[in-house]
Amino acid sequence: ADDTQRLLAAVLATARPLARTRAAHKAALLAALQNLPDGYVVAGTVTVNDSLDLLAQFMGVKEQVEALTNQAMDGSLSLERALEERLAIIDCSPADIKRFIAAHPPASRLAPGIKELITALQARGVAVYLISGGFRELTLPIAAYLGIPKSHVFANRMNWQWDDETGAPTKLVGFDMSEPTAHNQGKPQAIARIRQRNPYNTVVMIGDGITDLEAVQMTGGADLFIGYGGVVERPAVAAEAEWYVYDYQALVDSLARYRVAMIGSGAWACAAVRMMAQNTKVDDPADEFVDEIRMWVYEEDYQGRKLTEVINETHENPKYFPGFHLGDNVVAVPSIEEAADGADLIVLCAPHQFIHGICKQLMGKVKPGAAAISLTKGMRVRPEGPQLISQMVRRYLNIDCAVLMGANIATDIGREQLSEAVIGYDNLDHAERFKKLFQRPYFRISLLPDPVGAEMCGTLKNIVALGAGMVDGLGLGPNSKATIIRQGLVEMRRFSRALYPSVREDTFLECCGVGDLVATCYGGRNRLVAEAWTRAQMDGSPRTFEELESELLKGQKLQGVLTSNEVQEILRPAIHPAPCPLRVPSSPILQKRHWEQDYPLFTTINRIINGYLPPKFVVDYEVGCTFSDLAPTEGSDDD
């Protein structure tokens, strides 16, 4: 079958840049495929039989039409004449076409692998077009089945005689000569039209006919050509094609798949890797991810064996996330470089105090162009000022870094209970890719173009959670806790916007703001340890946070105490010069005097955990923040 008579072309295009390689060979094509979604276009034979020939057979005129088809293929009959004469012989009505489509549904006629290829390309953001030398009436059902929009279909249109009485089409009277596909060199013209309307950088044509090949031979047409010989092999096409395939699966297999690395293996890291492993191990042509996820595990002894060995044998992390199967496709590795090697998507989820060391270890070792996302809640305070984890990752690894923040208690997510998170992003493409990586039916993700706001929320709520734990330790009820949560939210917003004025007000109403605050103040580890610490204080048998962290959390880390001290370093430089004086001249808050009082809850919590005030002041924070010249109270951690 020739392109003059069959559905031929799927044209895929993308709006993303790729170096023009008109004289490309297979290597360039392969690179184009593998660098998706950086772009290419394809045109291809999508059915195993020609629609017009099949329609002729359906109408009982197969032989006559085939004879004309062959003449057109020989070049002894022009494309226009061949189409016109074949239509005249077929002489069908709209009702015949309906019956024909019902008798030959698209699924029964598709070339093997074409649906998978188109699905896979569309999932990667590549626009797919269908250019047919046949007729729109016959092509559209196939396009619909392939998920190609009508506006992406180029084909000839049948002309009908219309009944004056009923206003309905009755008799076929030829076809519309104005369509580019009605003429020789119609394909490059169709592609030129596509390019006029869309700023595609690279257009790849897949096809089996000489006129498909023309698409790359004419200025303004496609950039690259892939020959397809799965239905009919044409030596002339095979000889000219830079890449010739007999099976669309070969193209599906060549598409880029993203390799994922998890840096971290604590409770949240394991809950997150479990969701990712479920998403990467799917039998779906739209799957964009390599099945295997390498997870960096800070190596330690677990009951006389290496923790990595135990995880790889049992597919569970018995120390940090017991009772949850992580997935057979998660491989624990003790070397951070090996975990990150070749990864396109790097997920960071370790306690915040370790991230600086991790970044230093990974410097110069990550794949250029990789994208990172931080699940870590916390910040770093340096002499020059505060540094968010995402900023640190960007600076050290020289790659984009989004954040994922929300009310995400690890064990609840392991139990697959409904949870929400936002991905705070600068780069929308990366955020959408990460959304596909994390989203589960029970884990809802929305995209938020305020990465700094989201990260500040995740960081600061850990301080408020300590206050909530104190309220519980004091034996107070929900009204008091609600007061702490409300005031905490006010201070979180004030502090975030003081440091980063571009942070959005609405972010605090998202799941990363008020949502996480509620979850963490009721069910988090910071709350748990602060409650135990407060009770011990009240009982007159004080314990340190370190003791309780190791006793209650069994290796898991508390972030709130460190974060409170870090934030307080920012809040109090004018009163107590920190060991490394802070200088953030652009930040109005640091130029103010007595500004600890602008954050009465943060300040009071910090004074309590450092033993300068007894826990009962948590509900008297307006007073707690006003004292100066405080000495440690009896039984404080400093004792």
Residues whose CB is less than 8 angstroms from the CB of residue 19 and which lie 6 or more positions away in sequence, other chains included: none
**Cβ distance to ligand NAD smaller for residue 1 or 355:** 355
Least separation in angstroms between residue 520's CB and ligand 13P is 4
Residues whose CB is less than 8 angstroms from the CB of residue 507 and which lie 6 or more positions away in sequence, other chains included: 448, 450, 453, 454, 457, 513
| 265 lies in the binding site for ligand NAD (CB under 6 A) | yes
Least separation in angstroms between residue 481's CB and ligand 13P is 14
- Catalytic residue flag (residue 171): no
Residue 564's Cα: distance from chain center in Å?
32
The residues that bridge with 401 in the sheet, in sequence order, are 372
| 351 lies in the binding site for ligand NAD (CB under 6 A) | yes
Least separation in angstroms between residue 499's CB and ligand NAD is 19
Residue 378, binding choice from ligand NAD, ligand 13P, none, Cβ under 5 to 8 Å by partner class: ligand NAD
Give the whole-angstrom CA distance, residue 432 versus residue 271.
20
| 268 lies in the binding site for ligand NAD (CB under 6 A) | yes
Give the whole-angstrom CA distance, residue 260 versus residue 268.
16
**Cβ distance to ligand 13P smaller for residue 47 or 408:** 408
Give the whole-angstrom CA distance, residue 44 versus residue 9.
4
Residue 526, binding choice from ligand 13P, ligand NAD, none, Cβ under 5 to 8 Å by partner class: ligand 13P
Tell me the site size for ligand NAD, rule CB under 6 A. Answer: 23
Least separation in angstroms between residue 280's CB and ligand 13P is 23
Give 406's Cβ-side CA count (13 Å radius). 23
Residues in touch with ligand 13P (CB under 6 A): 377, 407-409, 462, 465, 516, 519-520, 524-526, 559
Active-site choice (115, 187, 461, 481) = 461
Nearest Cα neighbor of 406 from 463, 447, 360, 366 is 447
Give the whole-angstrom CA distance, residue 628 versus residue 639.
20
Strand, helix or coil for residue 381:
strand
Among the listed residues 124, 136, 315, 557, the single contact to ligand NAD using CB under 6 A = 557
Residues whose CB is less than 8 angstroms from the CB of residue 62 and which lie 6 or more positions away in sequence, other chains included: 53, 56
| 408 lies in the binding site for ligand NAD (CB under 6 A) | yes
| 518 lies in the binding site for ligand NAD (CB under 6 A) | no
Among the listed residues 106, 378, 424, 611, the single contact to ligand NAD using CB under 6 A = 378
Element holding 227 (H helix, E strand)? strand 224-228
Among the listed residues 302, 354, 500, 522, the single contact to ligand NAD using CB under 6 A = 354
**Cβ distance to ligand 13P smaller for residue 449 or 523:** 523
CB 2 within 8 A of CB 69: yes
Give the whole-angstrom CA distance, residue 200 versus residue 312.
45
CB 507 within 8 A of CB 513: yes
Among the listed residues 33, 87, 410, 498, the single contact to ligand NAD using CB under 6 A = 410
**Cβ distance to ligand 13P smaller for residue 205 or 529:** 529
Q: Given the rule CB under 6 A, which residues bind ligand NAD?
A: 264-269, 298, 320, 349-352, 354, 375-378, 408-410, 556-557, 559
List active site positions: 461
